[in-house]
Amino acid sequence: MLLAYHGNRVPMRAVSKGVKTERGVGAHYEDAGVFLLRQGYTPILFANNIIHSKDHTLSFARMLRRLQAILDDETCRHVRALTRSLNTFVSKGGIFRPRRLSQWELIQILKERTPVLVTMRVRAETRRGWYYHAIIVTGYSRKYIYYLDPGAGPTKVRRCTFANERRHSDGDALYIPTRPRP
């Protein structure tokens, strides 16, 4: 959807092959950002994940400052994979913001008619209860936020409900800035 908005129709198979995933963890936004960079775009990534491992609880900003110590710790496989992805994203020209994307910032981006990939915390009918799910926010009105959910299709939800659900998620977001038209 992000690429289709910019006129680039990439088959889903190519996206699946292009976005690196890690066994047991899945894909990170950083990996999707690297794929977008390879497609010729300059995506902007907001991430404020808290990384939990055996001996570390770090925010991304703090993690970057302590990179070498983390990489030396063999128990931090997930942290190493995330750090590698983030370093690749930044070194190839991606724009990284080590914080959450606020509701106000999301609305400002949507005003430019630019879709945004965000993570939501969703209640599931499973034994695990809650899980995190990526959706594409496509628009807004005075009362509603409109988004595309791969499982449910086009959906609208009240802005206050959306803000509450985002407050409980990690705040990750990825978008491709609108290029000025000639």
Element at 165 (helix H, strand E): helix 159-167
Please state whether 163 falls in left (phi above 0), alpha (psi between -120 and 50) or beta: alpha
Residues 6+ apart with CB under 8 A from 42: 93, 94, 95, 176, 177
Residue 142 located in a structural domain: yes
Domain with 108, as residue range(s), is 103-175
Distance, in Å, from the CA atom of 85 to the CA atom of 96, rounded to the nearest integer, reads 12
Residue 147 inside a domain? The answer is yes
Question: Which H or E run includes 144?
Answer: strand 144-149
At 17-62, the pLDDT tens digits run 777 666 555 667 777 888 888 888 888 888 775 544 444 444 555 5
In a domain, 5, yes or no: no
The segments of the chain whose pLDDT lies below 70 read 1-2, 5-6, 20-27, 49-83, 121-132, 179-182
Q: Is residue 166 part of a domain?
A: yes
pTM of the model: 0.70
Q: What's the CA gap between 117 and 150, in Å, rounded? A: 12
CA distance 152 to 178: 27
Give the model's pLDDT for residue 57. 46
Q: Does residue 161 sit within a domain?
A: yes
Residue with tokens 């925010």: 59
Residue 134 pLDDT: 80
Short-list 139, 132, 134, 153, CA closest to 106: 139
Confirm whether 32 is domain-assigned. no
**Do residues 58 and 48 lie in contact, with contact meaning Cβ atoms separated by under 8 Å?**
no
Considering its fold, how many domains does the chain have in total? 1
Q: For position 77, what pLDDT does the model report?
A: 62
Name the nearest CA neighbour of 108 among 28, 62, 46.
46
DSSP helix/strand/coil, 54 = coil
Identify whether 10 is part of a domain. no
Q: What is the pLDDT of residue 98?
A: 76
Whether 163 maps to a domain, the answer reads yes
Distance of CA 145 to the CA centre of its chain: 18
